[in-house]
Structure 1
Amino acid sequence: MKKFVLLLGSASLALSFTTAASAQVVSEASDAVADDDAIVVTGEREYLYREEDTDALGFDIPLAEVPATVNVITEDFLEDVRAYDVEDVLTYVPGVITGGFSGGTSTTFLVRGFENTATYFNGLRQFRSISQTPSLDNIARVEIVKGPAGAEFGVADAGGILNFVTLKPEREFSAEAFAGVGDFGYRRIGSDVTGPINHDGSLRYRVIGAYSERAEWRDGRPDETPRWTIAPSIAWDYAPDGNLLIEYQHTYSDEPLDRGIFYIEGAEFLTGEDNFAPRTFSQMQSANVQESHVDRFDIRLSQDLGANFGIDLAYQRIVEDGFEFQAQFARIRDLYDADGLTYNGSTAPVPYGGSRDEETKRTIDNISAVMRGEFEIGITEHKIRLGYQRSDAIFAADFRGNGGVGRRIITNTLDIFNPDNDQELTFDGRNNNLSFTNSQDVESFFAQWSGNFGDRLRIVAGLRHDQADFFTRFDTTDGVGTPSPNVSEEISFRVAGSYDLTDRLTAFAGYSDSYTPQSGTTADLEPIEALHNISYEVGLKAELFSDRVLWTNTVYQITQNNIAAVDPNDETNMFQILFGEVRIRGFESEFVGAVTNTLDVSAGVALQESKNVRTEDAAVEDNEFFGVPNYQLSAFANYRLADLGLPDLAVRTGVIHVGDREGNAENNFELPAFTRVDFGLRYTLNSQTDFDLFVENLFDEIYYEQTQGRSRPENGIIPGDRRLVQFNVTHRF
């Protein structure tokens, strides 16, 4: 609470200072220019879900013409769905669903059926955090590039990548302050101020500060899970053909891990008829802590070299310091019969397996240097990008004062039928240490080309060479562990094209081929080969309702081979084998934009068919992917009631339907289908102040977002949020 009050005071002070300073700049600027050039702050705000252009494939291309499936979540959409974090909004994107990362608080998603293991900030790769999701307070949009995007982004996943684009300083002054309260301890407060520093706006700033606490309604959770962000940035047009951008962001959070609930058959007195534990159940303890400080520093320079060429340079450094204490792994497995699904009748309390007590540090250094150019040959227009990128990431963890495999053994037990989540923990006294080091260094050279052949045909091609050096080592008090290096050199490429069948209808097709490095070795100490990802897609894009709406339809197939698994002949579980190939086929349709001047819509549908095509494990041969629905529907609409004589009132409604999903690789239990409805009202007073009421899960549907896919589902099933009500106020200056 002290941090809440401190940030409130700091934000208010910063807002007052920057508002006064910017107002003075605006006033002075207006005296120096003609009246029709003066800066005017209207306070009006449009709600637009459609982005016009994207540079996700390396070149600035209209979304209606880009020869790939690219979904863009705009800042307006993020605000309208009242997203606390990105998990709240991505299920509205066809073909994307929340993943199951052991109940951790990091970001993990399934994109076209494949786990997304890395995200990107402003186009540069991140080393996935275990303890923190990206703060949305400083996000302008989220881009989802579907299919293997190795030619553009380097090491990438088979289903697609997520790229977070941050808010930038603007030439015109604007400022807003916001605050919110809601069920189960939800609260939010902050401000966003941007504007010119000098008279012509060539030097400008932005300062964002925010504090929030999510709604905590599950047992075993702390009363407060704070997160705060401060993000200043400066942009400088130092010449007519050159600019410099400097960004800094610090985010603190304390959101402990949540292992979710379990599934067990034959214990209806505990689970009810659906065999899932109550959604409020938790094996975690309220004393758990997972603190994380993340600092991100970006500097970017763009300089034109004459009329047709230029250079773009970028450096990004991310440092995460974390501390974690978790009482975890209550041995719920003791309740299962030999089949791993059925209740064995035991009513005895189950012991805890141990605790996780560690300090962590992650450091990422990204550099990028790109030479760009454009030229014409006859009636054809060409753009090129030649570049070099390097990403050096290291993660180190020290498990302090631990026994066994890096854990102190807890002597407490948990009564599953009447759990006590507020216990004073006791330990058995064993005392050893474990250190873990993992590094991921990737060096890349790439070339990209875009060609326009007349007004209707355009082609994009990219080629990239990546050398990935992955390294893992465990050290204990008994000595330094044996390192497990893995070096791979691979080439990724993309060829795609689009053709305008009419002025408003575009056909596109693409092929992409990429690799994802894997850690580990075979029993012969040979490094495991990289995953090989191949994607085909074809589609149609149509601009409707006077070009305000973009309707994208795509058919695709993705295959992935060189999948690694634990060697069944290795009793130590240290070695791996390459055992198979998987495939997913699907259809996606997205309809997004302004149907009328008062109605904005984002809707989508995804149909998916997944299959283990070839494996060495008969138990999963021909099975579907776990956690991947065969169908997914979503729609979100914002209707401003101006046509009904209420121009200051807007109604928002969202519907998400997700079909049945297999619960694990063996396909022997399912997560049931669900439908969630969200609802919101916004009233705007004097074009400056918004009063916003939003209800997530209006009908309080009990549903399960995802599963970790365990053969014995003793934990890792993540229940969706119950009905949550929040009220927010935003004032623009």
Structure 2
Amino acid sequence: MKNILLPICLFFTIGVQATFAQYHIRGKVTDSQSTAIQAATIKLIGQHKTAQSDQNGFFTFTDLKPGKYQLELAYLGYQPHRKEIQIKDADVQLSLQLEPDSRELQTVEIMGRTEKSYKNSVSYAGTKVAAEIKDVPQSIQYVTKELMADQGAVRMTDIVKNVSGVNQYTFYDDVSIRGFRNQGGVGSNSSNQLFNGLRTFNGFWRQNLLNYLERVEIIKGPAAALFGNVNPGGTINKVTKKPLDTARRSINLQMGNYNTLRTNLDFTGPANSSKTVLYRLNLGYENANSFRDLMFDKNIVIAPSLSYVPSSNTRINFDAVYNKSNSRLDRGQSIFGSNDLHSTPISLNVADINDFLNEETYLITTSLTHRFSDKLTLNASYLRTGYRQDLFEHRSTSFAVDKQGKNIENLALRRASQRHNEQFSDSFTAYLSSNLHTGKVEHRLVLGYDYNASTIPVGSSQMDAAGYRLKDGTIASKYVAKDSAKYVFYNYKGKMIPMPNVPSFDLSKNEHSLLSVDGYVYAANNTDVVVPFRSEQHSVYVQDYLSYKRLKLLLGLRWDSYISHLNYSTPQLEKVRQHAFQPRIGATYAILDNINAYATYTTGYNPQDARSQNPNAGGPFDPMTSYLLEAGLKTEWFGRRLSATVSVYDIQQRNVLYNALDPDNPDLLVQIGKDKSRGIELDVVGYIAPGLNVLATYAYNHARLDGANAGADTTYNNQQKPNAPKNQGSVWAKYVVQQGALKGFGIGSGVHVVGNRTFGFQGQKNIVPSHGPGYTLVSAAAYYTINAIQLQFNVNNLTNRTHWVGGYDSSRLYPGSPRTWLFSTTYTF
């Protein structure tokens, strides 16, 4: 009996050990030159296990049972690699070699980016062909979706604080770059934003959710040689998430203070077994209140994307983004007098309960790339942007007055507006790119044509209720004390004062009520955002990107024809035509394998809006022209995982228009002689060691106005430009523990510093607060990842610092948010 039991027990023991045995997979990732590849992503399919190769290319998977596994390896610029692995009774050692993949350096961005860190290596917008950013002779900075996610950034002003020289201007989709305001909203005929490299515009009055973005690129300086009339400070390019040829799915839930609730979904992968059709779908939902009185946001985002790759020579892509939002328009904080920022709480808002702002936006893009041969490729893209707005608002315009006409500085005079606005734009680009050689010189030639049209059709309108009531039932635009007998008066705190058309708001009480608006007397307001309008732009350009050993030259020339339709859709239609040639010259030299020196000269041109050319505004005015001189170093460290750029620049713009502040002619404009900006910038971003991502920026910007006077008591000369700090910077770092008991736990922290600024202009005494105080904001985050679930907690403005991100005047100041927190849960499968 003993002889029988002994083998049985031994067999049972071996079986138990085999069942519960734990083994490892260890490996090294190299390229075709046997050089270690760092930060490559390695997955065990179906196991919810992911690793990244370290600085020596090594990776490890632990605690694996015997059996078969599918390993997947991905890294930007290389072909995806899959391998089947069998674990029997010992650890597995692997040596994995990746081959270059031309799909990752396509001429247009159709396939999705596979990098999964703060660093982005390739830009398509900088040269209109795939080029490594380090080789482009111009500063191009970016913020990737990974950095956005780690910081809990959901809107543009959350994102761009990570880029040197970019500063928030207002609450709206509105920033300054190197001291030049980047607006391009509704009513603009020269938008300064790009969407997948194509010209578009934004709704301006609020910021949309950006959960569908792969990254945001900022091309510094006037990139007119590529895109025509753009901001001389820089151009923002929003790059959407593209389909991947491997399946990835995630669901993200966010909850925060001010009753914030958000849901984001991101699904991507092949739609068929041959992987010729790829898809991506991003969905977003938001319901959130604000620290500002009466403010809220309700948003829906639907962003599908499809890629059709029938062969290695042809790729077709379709992208769409639809955003619907319901909110109120926040015109900012009003204060007593003109200089005491603390005279009212930062939550104060003079809006009313029955105000609303309803917006719908869509962007639809189709693009095609076809390679005729190894030397010739055609690219064509078309973007349609549509926008619709319905608005009712109460806003402060100035202070109410007493019977003698003196300001009552705690009583804000208000105006009510009803507006319906629609605007559309069409952008098309087509270009041939060719790779040629003349001796030892490599040429990447681009020859292209661009078309852009922006239209406000018939049907938009705005009605304003403002001014003071007269006894005859009409409205006076302003109160004149000598004619007081004509006005209606009412009792305010025991004093009889002129009755406004719209009830004034008592700043000292800060009380809101549901006003009866039926008695308002309205008048049509033909503001720029509702007057029918159309502008067109036709452009041809040629560019040669030459490479010889360590030297690269970028030579470009563009011709633009601008057509503004004055009195559009009327018998008095007049077409105003303007033309411009724009050169671009740049050079990059590789001092060392990881250090490039660069220099560039490029010009800019912006035609004046045809509506500003009328005599009432003081026109006609000369067009705005600009140039950029820039030089710097672009470097890469730690096996190309960390990039650092330092640049010095000089930008000058001529003939920009500012309001002349003439009380007798509010439409009168004045043209500035020179609009200057000089400075130095530093940007560091990337992955230093396993689990450690960092970002650091600094900008010194001396942006001033020179060459014109405006008004008898106001001078613009030598003033620092509004909302353009001389000094600003950011630091952010995130570390995730890679092994041990705390594996998967991470922390993040950052500091954002903005120096003193000017709100309005210092010369405008008793009109605007001249001093915008600087501020320092601290943020922190904690992360924990277990299998397919990540938990994340972010705190912004940790010290609860009271600050202002921008301002116009005493009725429109823009305070920053107090301390906020956000808890996120992400499930990836």
TM-score using structure 1 length: 0.86
Q: For residue 589 of structure 1, report the CA deviation from its aligned partner.
A: 0.6
Which amino acid in 2 is paired with 1:603? A
State the Cα deviation string for residues 6-53 of structure 1 (Å, max 9, x = none): xxxxxxxxxxxxxx9xxxxxx9xx9xxx994689xxxxx985111112
1:226 match: 298
Which amino acid in 2 is paired with 1:430? V
Which amino acid in 2 is paired with 1:422? S
Q: 1:422 to 1:486 in 2, by over 3 A?
A: farther
Distance in 1 (alpha carbons) for counterparts of 2:315 and 2:540: 24
1:243 match: 315
Show the 5 A alignment for 1:153-164.
Answer: 153-164=227-238
2:657 match: 564
Q: Does 1:281 align with 2:348?
A: yes
Q: Does 1:201 align with 2:272?
A: no
1:6 match: none
Q: 2:747 aligns with which of 642, 648, 651?
A: 651
1:695 match: 795
Contact 2:220 2:233 in 1 (8 A): yes
1:360 match: 421
Which amino acid in 2 is paired with 1:681? A
Q: 2:433 aligns with which of 348, 352, 372?
A: 372
Distance in 2 (alpha carbons) for counterparts of 1:474 and 1:259: 30
State the Cα deviation string for residues 42-85 of structure 1 (Å, max 9, x = none): xxx98511111212222322222221111011110111111121
Contact 1:410 1:425 in 2 (8 A): no
Look up the SS of the partner of 2:646 in the other structure: strand
- Structure 2: tracts of 5 or more residues without a match: 1-45, 47-68, 73-79, 86-113, 184-191, 468-474, 478-499
Contact 1:333 1:714 in 2 (8 A): no
Which amino acid in 2 is paired with 1:62? E
Q: 1:108 aligns with which of 174, 178, 190?
A: 174
1:258 match: 330
Q: 1:47 to 1:678 in 2, by over 3 A?
A: farther
Q: Does 1:291 align with 2:361?
A: no
Distance in 2 (alpha carbons) for counterparts of 1:693 and 1:299: 38
Q: 1:464 to 1:595 in 2, by over 3 A?
A: same
Look up the SS of the partner of 2:419 in the other structure: strand
Q: 1:510 aligns with which of 565, 587, 600?
A: 600
- Compare 436-445 and 375-384 and name the one that shifted more: 436-445
Which amino acid in 1 is paired with 2:428? I
Which amino acid in 2 is paired with 1:159? G
Q: Does 1:412 align with 2:503?
A: yes
Look up the SS of the partner of 1:80 in the other structure: helix
Q: 2:693 aligns with which of 575, 587, 600?
A: 600
Distance in 2 (alpha carbons) for counterparts of 1:615 and 1:159: 21
Distance in 2 (alpha carbons) for counterparts of 1:419 and 1:35: 63
2:375 match: 308
Distance in 2 (alpha carbons) for counterparts of 1:173 and 1:199: 12
Q: For residue 246 of structure 1, report the CA deviation from its aligned partner.
A: 1.1
Distance in 2 (alpha carbons) for counterparts of 1:630 and 1:481: 49
Q: Does 1:85 align with 2:186?
A: no
Q: 1:385 to 1:443 in 2, by over 3 A?
A: same
Contact 1:355 1:407 in 2 (8 A): no
Q: 1:35 to 1:450 in 2, by over 3 A?
A: closer
Contact 2:397 2:811 in 1 (8 A): no
Flag the structure with larger Rg.
Answer: 2
Look up the SS of the partner of 2:146 in the other structure: helix
Distance in 2 (alpha carbons) for counterparts of 1:437 and 1:531: 24
Q: Does 1:452 align with 2:547?
A: yes
1:48 match: 117
Contact 1:219 1:421 in 2 (8 A): no
Contact 1:282 1:421 in 2 (8 A): no
Q: For residue 429 of structure 1, report the CA deviation from its aligned partner.
A: 4.6
Q: For residue 574 of structure 1, report the CA deviation from its aligned partner.
A: 4.6
Q: 1:523 aligns with which of 593, 612, 615?
A: 615
Contact 1:59 1:450 in 2 (8 A): no
Q: 1:232 to 1:522 in 2, by over 3 A?
A: closer
Distance in 1 (alpha carbons) for counterparts of 2:239 and 2:668: 39
Q: 2:726 aligns with which of 630, 650, 654?
A: 630
1:62 match: 132
1:128 match: 202
Q: 2:635 aligns with which of 542, 552, 558?
A: 542
Q: For residue 178 of structure 1, report the CA deviation from its aligned partner.
A: 1.1
Contact 2:178 2:703 in 1 (8 A): no
Q: For residue 724 of structure 1, report the CA deviation from its aligned partner.
A: 0.7
Q: Does 1:328 align with 2:400?
A: no
Which amino acid in 1 is paired with 2:581? I
State the Cα deviation string for residues 108-156 of structure 1 (Å, max 9, x = none): 1100000113211001111232344343111001110001110111111
- Of structures 1 and 2, the one scoring higher in RCO (CA 8 A, sep 6+) is 1
Q: For residue 297 of structure 1, report the CA deviation from its aligned partner.
A: 1.3
Contact 2:426 2:452 in 1 (8 A): yes
Q: For residue 387 of structure 1, report the CA deviation from its aligned partner.
A: 0.8
Q: For residue 225 of structure 1, report the CA deviation from its aligned partner.
A: 1.6
Distance in 1 (alpha carbons) for counterparts of 2:669 and 2:453: 25
- Compare 389-398 and 723-732 and name the one that shifted more: 389-398
Look up the SS of the partner of 2:460 in the other structure: strand
1:725 match: 821
1:23 match: none
Look up the SS of the partner of 2:217 in the other structure: strand
Distance in 1 (alpha carbons) for counterparts of 2:571 and 2:148: 46
Q: For residue 582 of structure 1, report the CA deviation from its aligned partner.
A: 1.7
Distance in 2 (alpha carbons) for counterparts of 1:133 and 1:567: 30
Q: 1:388 aligns with which of 436, 439, 449?
A: 449
Which amino acid in 1 is paired with 2:232? A
State the Cα deviation string for residues 555-603 of structure 1 (Å, max 9, x = none): 1110010123456899545554534112111000111111211211010
Contact 2:400 2:408 in 1 (8 A): no
Contact 1:246 1:299 in 2 (8 A): yes
Q: For residue 407 of structure 1, report the CA deviation from its aligned partner.
A: 13
Which amino acid in 2 is paired with 1:732? T
Distance in 1 (alpha carbons) for counterparts of 2:660 and 2:354: 38
TM-score using structure 2 length: 0.76
Q: 1:429 to 1:112 in 2, by over 3 A?
A: closer
Q: Does 1:661 align with 2:728?
A: no
Q: Does 1:670 align with 2:797?
A: no
2:239 match: 165
Look up the SS of the partner of 2:442 in the other structure: strand
Distance in 2 (alpha carbons) for counterparts of 1:563 and 1:570: 21
Contact 1:182 1:215 in 2 (8 A): no
Q: 1:488 to 1:229 in 2, by over 3 A?
A: same
Which amino acid in 2 is paired with 1:200? S
- Compare 656-665 and 557-566 and name the one that shifted more: 557-566
Look up the SS of the partner of 1:88 in the other structure: helix
Distance in 2 (alpha carbons) for counterparts of 1:671 and 1:185: 30
1:42 match: none
Contact 1:444 1:464 in 2 (8 A): yes
Q: For residue 716 of structure 1, report the CA deviation from its aligned partner.
A: 2.0
Which amino acid in 2 is paired with 1:250? Y
Task: Give every structure 1 segment of 4 or more consecutive aligned residues whose post-TM-superposition deviation is greater than 6 Å.
Answer: 404-409, 480-484, 567-570
Q: Does 1:496 align with 2:586?
A: yes
Distance in 2 (alpha carbons) for counterparts of 1:262 and 1:538: 43
Query: In angstroms, what is the RMSD of aligned CA positions?
Result: 3.2
Distance in 2 (alpha carbons) for counterparts of 1:407 and 1:318: 40
1:464 match: 558
Q: 1:683 to 1:332 in 2, by over 3 A?
A: farther
Contact 1:94 1:606 in 2 (8 A): yes
Distance in 2 (alpha carbons) for counterparts of 1:167 and 1:302: 18
Contact 1:324 1:359 in 2 (8 A): yes
Which amino acid in 1 is paired with 2:375? N
Distance in 1 (alpha carbons) for counterparts of 2:456 and 2:145: 32
